[in-house]
């Protein structure tokens, strides 16, 4: 009877067990935390790191990999083993070079509106009958 009770009591806990991981995301060179980094598991459970770069993911589905991304840094895929509870993730900065773009305007559009207003001053004054 005790074995049956124990089985009935522990079986739901095993079925609904949750996988969790926590950690911190930091810059590789400065060792400063990276706030609001995106952390996603291979089962599409995800979170953002807080202002101190710390994160916590708790999910019912098991996962074995997380992907960490942050603007201006290289995306990293990290394998996770079953006994890993805490992980420190260091991201390397990514440099991108952009081509220069020059934007020139012929004339400020506001100047044309002012000219049209002055040109139609007599017409515009006659419209408003206070």
pLDDT tens track for 18-62: 588 999 999 999 999 999 999 999 999 999 999 999 999 998 888
Closest to 38 measured CA to CA, from 76, 71, 69: 69
Per-residue confidence at 104, pLDDT binned at 50, 70, 90?
Answer: confident
Closest to 61 measured CA to CA, from 43, 87, 78: 43
Decide if pLDDT at 73 tops 90.
yes
Q: What is the pTM of this model?
A: 0.62
Show Cβ contacts of residue 90 under 8 Å, excluding neighbours closer than 6 positions: 26, 27, 28, 31
User: Which CATH code, of 3.30.565.10, 3.40.50.720, 2.60.40.1120, 1.10.287.810, is assigned to 2-91?
Assistant: 2.60.40.1120
pLDDT of 13: 45
Decide if pLDDT at 127 tops 70.
no
Which of 4-13, 70-79, 93-102 comes out lowest in average pLDDT? 4-13
pLDDT of 78: 93
Identify the residue whose tokens are 């807080």.
50
Confirm if 56 and 35 have CB atoms less than 8 A apart: no
pLDDT of 67: 95
């Amino acid at each position: 009877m005790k074995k049956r009770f124990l089985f009935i009591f522990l079986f739901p806990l095993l079925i609904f067990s949750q996988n969790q991981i926590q950690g911190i995301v930091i810059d590789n060179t400065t060792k400063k935390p990276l706030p609001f980094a995106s952390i996603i598991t291979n089962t599409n459970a995800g979170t953002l790191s807080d202002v101190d770069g710390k994160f916590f993911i708790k999910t019912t589905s098991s996962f074995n990999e997380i992907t960490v991304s942050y603007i201006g840094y290289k995306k990293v895929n990290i394998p996770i083993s079953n006994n890993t509870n805490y992980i420190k993730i260091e991201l390397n900065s990514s440099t991108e070079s952009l081509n220069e773009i020059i934007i020139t305007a012929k004339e400020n559009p506001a100047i044309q509106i002012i000219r049209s207003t002055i040109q139609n001053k007599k017409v515009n004054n006659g419209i408003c009958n206070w």
